Amino acid sequence: KNQVEQSPQSLIILEGKNCTLQCNYTVSPFSNLRWYKQDTGRGPVSLTIMTFSENTKSNGRYTATLDADTKQSSLHITASQLSDSASYICVVWVSGNTGKLIFGQGTTLQVKP
């Protein structure tokens, strides 16, 4: 069964600190992996997209890594800001004719001053 699991479920950090969110997937056939940021009551917004041949992708203070062998990804946030408080969702695209997106449950991050 195609699944995407994220950890931790929630996280609280102080402003200025770094944090790392984890994503494990069992999706086949794998096409690409995305990280999205979702503010409360809003639609998700893409942060990064990585194919199996890409190990690292950065977008400002966000750095995503992908290990296609172990089927793990991480999202590292550097020097957190209050505006980083949101849910972060790991999404895997299943290749083939169906082209479905499989979503993780998300990690809720709260950045405190």
Partner 1 sequence: DGGITQSPKYLFRKEGQNVTLSCEQNLNHDAMYWYRQDPGQGLRLIYYSQIVNDFQKGDIAEGYSVSREKKESFPLTVTSAQKNPTAFYLCASSTKKVRTEAFFGQGTRLTVV
Give residues with Cβ within 8 angstroms of 47, minimum separation 6.
34, 35, 36, 37, 59, 62, 64, 75, 88
By CB under 8 A, which span of 20-28, 40-48, 62-70, 71-79 interacts with partner 1? Answer: 40-48
Instruction: Tell me if 60 contacts partner 1 by CB under 8 A.
Output: no
Residue 83 phi/psi, 5° resolution? -70, -10
Distance CA 5, CA 106 (A): 8
Q: Which of 13, 49, 59, 85 is in the footprint of partner 1 by CB under 8 A?
A: 49
Q: Which of 7, 26, 81, 105 is in the footprint of partner 1 by CB under 8 A?
A: 105
Distance CA 58, CA 101 (A): 22
Closest by CA to 86, choosing from 110, 61, 113, 59, is: 110
Tell me the closest approach of the beta carbon of residue 92 to partner 1, in angstroms: 11
Tell me the closest approach of the beta carbon of residue 34 to partner 1, in angstroms: 8
Which residues bind to partner 1, rule: CB under 8 A? 4, 9, 31-32, 34, 36, 41-46, 49, 51, 89, 91, 93, 95, 98-101, 103-106
